[in-house]
Amino acid sequence: MTDINDTRSNNLFRLATDNSFNQIIFTDADGKILYANTSSKKVSGYNPTELIGHTPKIWGGLMNKSFYENLWKTIKMEKKTFRSEVVNRNKTGDKYFASIIIIPITEKNEIQGYIGVEQDITDIRELDKKKTEFLSIASHQLRTPLGSMRWNLEMLLEEEFGKLPADAKTVLKQIYESNLRMINLVNDYLSVSRIEQGRVFDEPKSTDISKLIKQVAIEIETEAQKKSVVGEMRFDKTVIPKITIDPKRLHEVLHNLLTNAIKYNRKNGKIIIKVERKKNFIKISITDNGIGIPMKEKKKIFSKYFRAVNAQLNTNEGTGLGLFIVKSYVEAWGGKVGFESQVKKGTTFYFTLPLIPHHGNLSKNL
């Protein structure tokens, strides 16, 4: 009876794995393949029998060294599930994009083997690429007329063409504010499309970070006053050195973090901007006492287009792109970005910049 049950279990197992659209493999503790389902042929181009005894390097191994170091650290040392997107090469030599999950199999806390699941996401990536190209073209086309509207509205508000009735001036201010929001939206879309297309090359200059922070704070002062939000700057007593970095991109990082601190703050709230000099880097932190970030949504906060539920309820404004841009730039410079948050108490976003930042393509790490 036990043999019959085992046979049925094995048949059900094979039916389940072979009917999956994804490639599924089992390996031993050294990564040698013991089993591969029939979908392996569709995904990697190899028949299951061709994979037995080999490691996944037969169709993989194209990512950089640090990627695989992190992979093995996660599944072998930490004994945790690893998820990522990779570029692999199929049997015919064509590269494709794949989403992978690797799960360690343990017994008495000892690794016995691994389960690997791989999905071909090339079509999804191609669709995403076309969407990015469309957004880039559309944003470029919108940028010029929006900029022209801004300058004309500013001239009208400054009454360069004559005095305006109070009611007309109020309406023009509302149109002007909507125009600025549209310009910020277009700039965010342009930044993201450049990052995704690998076209963000920085223009490093000697930059006074303290001075740049003060400049951005002045620019957003009007937004802060609308919510009666006050700011406080705490600069390290140690001299903050100038660093060679792209001031335009750093301005974008600071602007995104500070506008978020205002947008998601409470009425009569407070923002603290702190700059510290460490041994080999500078740390900048921005603290608010606003709505905070729910625990279950913290993992997604730097994802593209993501906005926490309480953020959506707080305001309709926002694209969910700002923090994605911040993370992309900071990590490309060789820095780190993170946050601490409690719901209804506030959030601190912080990032570090090495005293000698990396230069070149700010989207190469994606």
Query: Residue 181 is part of a domain; what is its CATH number?
Result: 1.10.287
Is 48 inside a domain boundary?
Answer: yes
Residue 300 DSSP label: G
112 & 6 share domain: yes
pLDDT at 159 exceeding the cut of 80:
yes
Nearest in space to 332 (alpha carbons), one of 358, 355, 310, 306? 358
Is 360 inside a domain boundary?
Answer: no
Alpha carbons 326 and 338: distance in angstroms, whole number: 10
Q: pLDDT tens-digit profile of 279-313?
A: 899 999 999 999 999 999 999 999 988 899 888 88
Nearest in space to 282 (alpha carbons), one of 274, 272, 290, 293? 274
Q: pLDDT tens-digit profile of 211-220?
A: 999 999 999 9
Is 359 inside a domain boundary?
Answer: no
236 & 281 share domain: yes
Residue 9 confidence class, pLDDT cut points 50, 70, 90: low
Residue 7 confidence class, pLDDT cut points 50, 70, 90: low
Q: What pLDDT shows up at residue 3? A: 52
Which CATH number is 68's domain given? Answer: 3.30.450.20
Alpha carbons 145 and 121: distance in angstroms, whole number: 37
Task: Look at the chain and count its residues.
Answer: 366
Is 143 inside a domain boundary?
Answer: yes
215 & 239 share domain: yes
Which CATH number is 298's domain given? Answer: 3.30.565.10
- Residue at a domain's end among 73, 99, 120: 120
89: Cβ contacts below 8 Å, ≥ 6 apart: 59, 60, 62, 95, 96
237 & 318 share domain: yes
Residue 355 confidence class, pLDDT cut points 50, 70, 90: very high
Mean pLDDT, residues 71-92 = 95
Q: pLDDT tens-digit profile of 332-341?
A: 999 999 999 9
Is 277 inside a domain boundary?
Answer: yes
134, two tokens: 């469309």
246 & 188 share domain: no
Q: What pLDDT shows up at residue 359? A: 82
The whole-chain average pLDDT of the chain stands at 89
Q: pLDDT tens-digit profile of 64-79?
A: 998 999 999 999 999 9
- Residue at a domain's end among 196, 214, 249: 196
Q: Are 246 and 204 in contact (CB under 8 A)?
A: yes
In the chain, how many domains are there? 3
Residue with tokens 């910020």: 184
pLDDT at 160 exceeding the cut of 60:
yes
Residue 366 confidence class, pLDDT cut points 50, 70, 90: very low
151 & 286 share domain: no
17 & 58 share domain: yes
Mean pLDDT, residues 30-46 = 94
106 & 140 share domain: no
Q: Are 292 and 346 in contact (CB under 8 A)?
A: yes
Q: What pLDDT shows up at residue 274? A: 96
Q: What pLDDT shows up at residue 8? A: 66
Alpha carbons 268 and 189: distance in angstroms, whole number: 31
313, two tokens: 């309820």
213 & 275 share domain: yes
Is 362 inside a domain boundary?
Answer: no
105 & 221 share domain: no
114 & 154 share domain: no
Question: In this structure, how many other beta carbons lie within 10 angstroms of the beta carbon of residue 237?
Answer: 8
Judged by average pLDDT, the poorest of 32-46, 96-110, 127-141, 291-305 is 127-141
Is 364 inside a domain boundary?
Answer: no
Mean pLDDT, residues 99-109 = 94
Q: What pLDDT shows up at residue 181? A: 81
Mean pLDDT, residues 189-209 = 83
- Residue at a domain's end among 196, 224, 255: 196
Structural domain boundaries, residue 158? 125-196
Q: Is 140 helix (H, G, I), strand (E, B) or coil?
A: helix
73 & 187 share domain: no
Indicate the pTM of the whole model.
0.67
End-to-end CA distance of the chain: 54
Residue 219: exposure state from Cβ atoms within 10 A (0-12, 13-18, ≥19): middle
Is 365 inside a domain boundary?
Answer: no
